[in-house]
Structure 1
Amino acid sequence: MKPKTARIEVDAPKAPRRFVFVLLENFTLLSFAAAVECLRIANRMAGHELYSWVLTGDAEDVVTSSAGVRFHLDFPLGELTRDDVVLLCGGMNVQATATKRMLNWLRREARRGLRMGGLCTASYVLAKAGLLDGKRATIHWENHDAFLEEFEEVDLTKSVFVVDGNRVSTAGGTSSIDLMLSLIADDYGEKLANAVADQQIYSAIRTDQDTQRLSVPTRIGVRHPKLSQVIQMMEANIEDPISPSILARDVGMSTRQLERLFRRYLSRSPKRYYMELRLQKARNLLMQTDMTVINVALACGFASPSHFSKCYRAHYDTTPYRERGAHTSRLSV
């Protein structure tokens, strides 16, 4: 039998703060569940109903998560109260969820001063509605490149979560916990937020200064400072690739030494590794944006569509046009 948990003393509100979760079709279950659990546990630890929550969305009654779990909505999109906090829950194919009805509803509610946020990929929908213009925001790292291409007015970061005025956003996954702990701490103090984290056995609480992806050494499984530095330079210069000789010079080694370093640790040449990074970004843009193949090629450092297509086919065994066509067909099924 689980022992009784000691309560955290807080000043109970006259009425609980309501969170309105807007479930977008194919939303990520983890991001949504992590956020709701923080609110539930906060209520339990305080012994008061500090928070309440409801579900809505651009559907008649049911929204399905990317895991196939279905949720019944409490009510359709409608007018909210000014104290509500709106959190959009995004996931796969988020572009399709930015419907005219959804965007108009978001703009209308935003004009009334509501606090709004996007979990996982839902920042895309907020940006599409123009509600992140001039704001700092974040989004899941897989959608980062596409977001940058489409929304130049947004100051996109790679943070785990971002709070900028009355706009909040997370990178997805467990970053919902970090955001909600931050909001709970603002409302009722660090002691309650830490108690909520302990209940979830969440020991590594992150701040908005933490980045969402693993460090380069962790990702590639190699802890070589100069190799990590070169890869960071490559990742930061996709549109205008830097030659191996300049990369080598900038980290204080010869081109031959750089070649040996890549061969030893990554079993490929610097040129090959760089090409794979560029093609990976190109594939993300093809899948997540409406950019023409020519513009995708230019954004990834290819001088011509023909060269881009040739390199893409060699790596992915299909052309950019066929890749996009197949992706579109899968989404329409």
Structure 2
Amino acid sequence: MANMKNLPDQPIRIALFVPQDCSMLSLGVISEPFLLANQLLGAQKYQLILISNAGDSPLMVDTSVYQREQFELQHEYDLLIISAETAPQQPIAINTKKNLQRYYRQYTGDILTLKGGLYWLLDSGIGVDQSWVVHWSFMDDLKDRYPDVTLSHDLYHQNGRLHSCAGQLASLDYLLNYINTQEEETVVNQITDYLCLDRLRSGSERQRLPSYSFAGEDIQPRLTMAIDLMEKNIEKPLSSDEIAEQIYISRRQLERLFKRHMNTMPARHYLQIRLKRAQHLLQTSNMSIVQIGLSCGFSSGPHFSSSYKSFYQSTPREERAKSVANRYTEHNK
């Protein structure tokens, strides 16, 4: 058990605001480190509060774990967490934005956004001139909505009071590091041992690695570098010669690497990366189909449409229509 000198007169209040869908994985990752810390300390040092909108909540949460408070933010929390699995499914309510603005102005506690939670702060005009971390799947849409915001592929980031995290398992890294600032090192070591974690990742570690790696192969770094270049050059694709030159091998060697380990050619794999990005944008962004085609390196609408249909057996227009219909169905459940 940790030294009792770490126990404050008042509990550390951790508030969770979930404005819409939250997976059980996300909820568990948020609560478990604090529950384990309390267990090790033998006291309820970390108090978890669920913030609800208008007396309602999208979650059925065990009240033995979370206390409940209305979304008026009349009290200060040591850490306010805003967590969402997706971008806002409907315009954010004016009252919600005003509450967040008032809380940010009046109090000094830290604010953490997880995964899609960043939308709620930015839409409230908070931190629009700062650098943020967000889950890679939201990168394109956020850049489209907030072109002046700086976004990072790091795991998590702290900028004064405003903190951000990619979400999912990266949340565990952030929260354990947060607890590490409050407790003796032995407490966090015991938590990480219980969770079978071999280490805590730092916030500056990269959130998303290239799509493929082949541990143990001497040529793995070259293939990984090639795929990384492809993923970073979507709008203006590089030629196979340019990729080979940048990773210091010949084009012939590059083709052999892809053929041996991925059973395809570099150009074909590059095309698939661009088409998968296009599909993601069609499903999640408000960009026009023409804009999406151009942003994914297709020089014309017909070229984009024919390539997309050949790969997905449906046109970009059909993909967009299906996505809109799915969102409408989910919204009206």
The residue type equivalent to 1:292 in the other structure is: S
Deviations 1:70-107 (A, max 9, x none): 67882331133234421012113545374433333222
Q: Is the 8 A contact 1:234 1:242 kept in 2?
A: yes
TM-score after normalising by structure 1: 0.88
- Residue 233 of structure 1: aligned partner: 229
Specify whether residues 195 and 71 from structure 1 end up closer, same or farther in structure 2 by C-alpha distance, changes over 3 A only: closer
Bigger mean CA offset, 113-122 vs 228-237: 113-122
Cα pair distance change 1:151/1:220, threshold 3 Å: farther
TM-score, scaled to structure 2: 0.88
Other-structure match for 2:7: 12
Q: How does 1:170-209 map to 2 (within 5 A)?
A: 170-209=165-204
Q: What's the secondary structure of 1:75's corresponding residue?
A: strand
> How far is the alpha carbon of 1:8 from its aligned partner?
4.0
User: What displacement does 1:130 show?
Assistant: 2.7
**Residues 118, 156 of structure 1: alpha-carbon distance in 2 compared, 3 angstrom cutoff:** same
> How many residues matched?
324
- Structure 2 Cα separation of the partners of residues 219 and 144 of structure 1: 26
1:50, 1:167 → 2: CA distance? 23
Residue 50 (structure 1) aligned to one of 45, 51, 72? 45
**For 1:274-306, what per-residue CA distance to the aligned partner results, in whole angstroms no more than 9, with x for missing partners?**
111111111112222211112212221122222
1:86 aligned to which of 80, 83, 86: 80
Shift of 1:50: 1.9
Q: Is this contact kept in 2: 1:34–1:174, CA < 8 A?
A: yes
State whether residues 107 and 131 of structure 1, in contact with CA within 8 Å, keep that contact through their aligned partners in structure 2: yes
Q: Please, which runs of 5 or more residues in structure 2 have no aligned partner?
A: none
Q: Distance in 2 between matches of 1:102 and 1:241?
A: 42
Instruction: State the distance in 2 between where 1:125 and 1:189 align.
Output: 34
Distance 1:332 1:76 in 2: 28
Q: Is the 8 A contact 1:170 1:179 kept in 2?
A: yes
Moved more, 208-217 or 182-191: 208-217
- Which of residues 240, 244, 250 is equivalent to 2:240? 244
Q: Secondary structure at the match of 1:74?
A: strand
From 233, 250, 254, the counterpart of 2:250: 254
Partner Cα separation in structure 1 for residue 175 and residue 165 of structure 2? 10
Mapped pair 1:312 → 2:324: no
Matched, 1:120 2:118: no
Aligned residue for 2:70, secondary structure, equals: coil
Asked whether the equivalents of residues 24 and 97 of structure 1 are also in contact (C-alpha less than 8 Å), the reply is: no
CA spacing shift, 1:30–1:19, aligned 2, 3 Å: same
- State percent identity of aligned pairs: 27
The equivalent of 2:273 in structure 1 is 277
* C-alpha distance in structure 2 between counterparts of 1:163 and 1:14, whole Å: 27
Partner of 1:295: 291
The Cα offsets for residues 105-143 of structure 1, whole Å up to 9 and x where unpaired, read as: 222211223421112221232222232323232222222
2:2 and 2:186 in contact (8 A); partners too = no
- Residue 152 (str. 1) matches residue 156 (str. 2): no
CA displacement 1:35-55 (0-9 Å, x = unmatched): 211111112212232211111
